[in-house]
A and B are shown apart, each in its own frame.
Chain A
């Protein structure tokens, strides 16, 4: 994306942000609360339109495209606050996503069952999704995003709310997605251990602007990053 900006009532939530994610890489995005990370995702996924700037997927300009078109172009997302289709089962949540991505009605349940298995929530497949615990909902978000076999996956804090023992399998899954399926991952995360482990490159946002970008090592050693976190130690001992 290039020179993307978006203001809300005069407040610049995202201010002239540019970055490129290499195909098949894992891009981490960090920043203090209110840095504009979720807004950035909403801009990329089409949920909101940028005031200025352009977003490209491969060579295609997807700026301002409706969210469902962005999704069909091969870019899926998860929501930080889990948003299941609450009245239906876990399986149906994922089956709908598969159908929306073009899977036939006939194959949708099978595809969904496979994805649910892979994400590790098979034991909840027939459960009303609104009654899942947070750990289940987080992975349901992931399963639903994967159902359409996206080429690019935008993950908004998929590890938050999981206990350390639950994070490892999710991280392994993300690595497998990149390794085996060639999925490009862009993820916003507060848990630095995960950012360090997964990212090829890290983008640091602060107050809507790119503070810096580089390898995980460079980023964590940069004094500006530590400053931005205001002494909030940017490492997480857990897991």
Chain B
């Protein structure tokens, strides 16, 4: 095979051996470093930090189906909303702890994901058509919630306030560090699950199916089962964000749970941080989370040069759009992808 020996692969083509263990260690170290954070941060900033965590959980979930799985979802609001509604419905109507409600929400979201996945894949929807079908399912749930007495129609739910603070009911003093810790714990578990997923048989099958579905089937990968399980896992993770969101903000309604903007919030952090990477969604959330507040502050007290912004609505949306355009143009692999390239080249 002398002829082939001369064709040396380029340096960049050599992939680092997978190191799931190392990722988990990095995650553990980060967790320990972040635990004291709420004790240092002023309350307003802490609220931003919690929002970052909620974004991160949503995006880590989205990234499993759409990044690793390559099945673009424009309807992750469905899973976020099912997590939110299942937990709050159980809490309001049956006094069930939101922790248990969260688990129930995961099951409901995963089952819905299985159904969506089965129908979309059964009819061989691909690309934009697949994405649109996920969007349609989320919209269907939104309209269903608005028109259903079973979940209070358009009014939605308020989380009942308790007299005493309680871990069981995930309710603490306003601005208490516990909220951050709960969010951090959930985020860390979500990221750990996505790391373990990538190292698992299911995860490795998922990547193979994403890269070439037919070839995967030809070597014996059960393509349909792999896709559906991946969607279910993705849905379950994003639903956790919904349940936590509702407990944190004490309120959920059909638009806030199932609206298109929720789906976009699951997509954007992953796109900005790096689609199909382990750390991308969390990094993207870190970039996006504070953006709302920065734009809100700008609206309230614009610096002299930006006086014309005073009192204008929609600035956050414009900032999102600008940021997204810049990222896609300048960092096509997202922030994390760009950092990784830098490090590797050194």
Contacts and interface: CB of A to CB of B under 8 A. Distances in A.
Contact of A105 (B13, B201, B210, B223): B201
Given A97-B220, A131-B10, A79 B215 contact: yes
A126 B14 contact: yes
27 contacts: A45-B218, A47-B218, A68-B219, A68-B222, A71-B219, A76-B219, A84-B212, A86-B211, A86-B212, A96-B207, A96-B221, A97-B220, A127-B9, A127-B14, A127-B15, A128-B13, A128-B15, A131-B9, A131-B10, A131-B13, A132-B9, A136-B4, A144-B219, A148-B219, A166-B3, A166-B4, A169-B1
Contact of A67 (B208, B212, B218): B218
Contacts of A136: 4, 7
A92 to B, nearest CB: 7
B129 to A, nearest CB: 22
Given A77-B218, A131-B10, A87 B211 contact: yes
Interface string B112-144: 000000000000000000000000000000000
A86 B215 CA distance: 11
B204 A99 contact: yes
B212 A148 contact: no
B220 A87 contact: no
Contacts of B222: 68, 100
Contacts of A169: 1
B158 interface: no
A72 interface: yes
Given A68-B223, A123-B5, A166-B1, A100 B17 contact: no
A85 B211 contact: yes
B341 interface: no
Interface of A: 45, 47, 66-68, 71-72, 76-77, 79, 83-89, 92-93, 95-97, 99-102, 105, 120, 123-124, 126-128, 131-133, 135-136, 144-145, 147-148, 163, 165-166, 169
A124 B201 contact: no
Nearest to B207: A88
Contacts of A97: 219-220
Given A67-B214, A97-B220, A145-B219, A85 B208 contact: yes
A2 B218 CA distance: 22
B201 A68 contact: no
B261 interface: no
Interface in B307-337: none
A86 B70 CA distance: 13
Contact of B218 (A79, A86, A165): A79
Nearest to B204: A96
Interface string B164-185: 0000000000000000000000
